[in-house]
Structure 1
């Protein structure tokens, strides 16, 4: 099986993970080398790691990146809006990763590396099974630790406050939990490929309005300063939100980190599967019962070495006030610091693969020397 744009040495296959999935994975590096597991986010694929995989493999690692549950060429999942959400609970996403590691014949992962929504999955892997996942790299989405006990009440007040602003707003995660979100994006008026091009562009360092900074607190007024791809206008879809910021045809053609052929891989995949599988992750995250069940781990921290890597132009670093700072305290007992990479926005491993790989390898070297 081949995908356009895969570098030499990166191959693909399918493997039963023992948890109901036949996972499509990309692999690189010597088969008996220390294992790195790479977990993508939304709306991405294992393919999103194509540029860093050869760099990590060349440093002596076996590198494996799956299409996660709800994505790509992995099968065994369903994602009708009315289906049971249980398979998309965080603990089951961790079980997916653990099952894949076991199916690979391994008992130990040198590091689990997660980007975007893959970042909290990687964090929970390290928190729940530190015996297997021996280090954690979180990318672009800080992990603030498990919810507390007693379980916090659902934060409906913030949504009412956003809607009551002079310019009424809504949080993107609440939108992603709606029945309409999948079709809004899959059948975007501008076309799926054009929607994805605009979405990837507006969250990258190529969009000049991405100048992130910490927010003063979890208030409607503070959140409303975020770009509209995070805090949307109340009556707009995501396709309508990003459309005005789409790159020109000339800008798109000049985008070296995401060529038209590479964009077509994403467009074909999401045209076939839709977005609902990935959106179900968000639905679990905003469901008070499902998310609140993780309070079982209240007070636990990631006790294996951990680090954070993101683009310097990535608003994801600060979109949840206090989460970035919490990684070094509440979330991790052995936090090795953060690296914010110039010239990259949210898609850091695609925008700046060499610098991303260098940051990961420097962290792994430090872990080996502890």
Structure 2
């Protein structure tokens, strides 16, 4: 793997690259509170299959730039970052694979820039229209999404998250995943990333922007690119009821439930996820 920095959309992103430089471009987009390392079990198999794999630390995370202000983290801006990466790779299109917030960015990119997306793979996050509907109307999902409201508070979430050697974030990863999913060595990698200057505030600003800075673009509701939705059924944060309505909004979509997996599906079921990815792409 090659670690480099790529200029895109007015900022500089740290990007891990692997695979042949003349292979089809595939971009892996991590979520909260991860960074490129969250795809460590997918990078090599995808590169070995012939893909030019780019895995950015998304803006605000780890070694990438962390612009100030909530407005720097709108979903429109995050999607534009991805398009910028595709352009910097010298490609017209890319395969997008996203998990958690990375899946939200992948959905939005496919909706607003369908000509830039070859294929779309999203994990454990619903279509944005479905998410909006459930968060505003479904009591069960509203309870599960309590932390989105908590993250709107100024300064307090950053302070609490950093206490006790990042114990709140580390405990959240451990308690919401299958036992043994995140080792002590893994958590140390995450703590180093969370401790980068300005990282924690920038990471939380993604959540603030989603409520305080709604998107200006009005994308089409239907997703016209081929789409695979992988969903760990034991997700504590997002109800599985949102999965089927999401794939119903895709012209060419497939939904796969992994019944024993949690929200952290690409960690817990890496071999199965990798097989599904390669089958769908090839």
- The TM-score normalised by the length of structure 1 is 0.69
What whole-Å deviation, never above 9, does each CA across 1:151-196 have from its counterpart, x for those lacking one? x9x95997xx97xxxxxx981110112111111102x2x321x333
What whole-Å deviation, never above 9, does each CA across 1:240-269 have from its counterpart, x for those lacking one? xxxxxxxxxxxxxxx3x4332221111011
Q: Note if 1:51 corresponds to 2:51.
A: no
SS of the residue 2:114 aligns to:
coil
Moved over 4 A (4+): 154-158
Structure 1 pair 318/50, CA: closer, same or farther in 2 (3 Å)? same
C-alpha distance in 2 between matches for 1:40 and 1:315:
18
Q: Note if 1:325 corresponds to 2:244.
A: yes
Q: Quote the RMSD (CA, aligned, Å).
A: 2.6
Structure 1 pair 353/156, CA: closer, same or farther in 2 (3 Å)? closer
Q: Note if 1:40 corresponds to 2:16.
A: no
- The TM-score normalised by the length of structure 2 is 0.89
1:180-259 counterparts in 2 under 5 A? 180-186=156-162, 188=163, 190-192=164-166, 194-206=167-179, 255=180, 257-259=181-183
1:92 is matched with 77
| More helix, by proportion | 2
Among 2, 7, 10, the alignment partner of 1:16 is 7
C-alpha distance in 1 between matches for 2:196 and 2:261:
29
Q: Note if 1:122 corresponds to 2:106.
A: yes
1:339 is matched with 256
* Equivalenced residues, count: 277
Unaligned runs of 5+ in 2: none
SS of the residue 1:72 aligns to:
coil
Structure 1 pair 258/11, CA: closer, same or farther in 2 (3 Å)? farther
SS of the residue 2:251 aligns to:
coil
Among 148, 166, 179, the alignment partner of 1:173 is 148
C-alpha distance in 2 between matches for 1:293 and 1:26:
30
What whole-Å deviation, never above 9, does each CA across 1:190-220 have from its counterpart, x for those lacking one? 321x3333111111123xxxxxxxxxxxxxx
Among 221, 225, 238, the alignment partner of 1:300 is 221
Q: Note if 1:291 corresponds to 2:281.
A: no
SS of the residue 1:333 aligns to:
coil
SS of the residue 1:327 aligns to:
helix
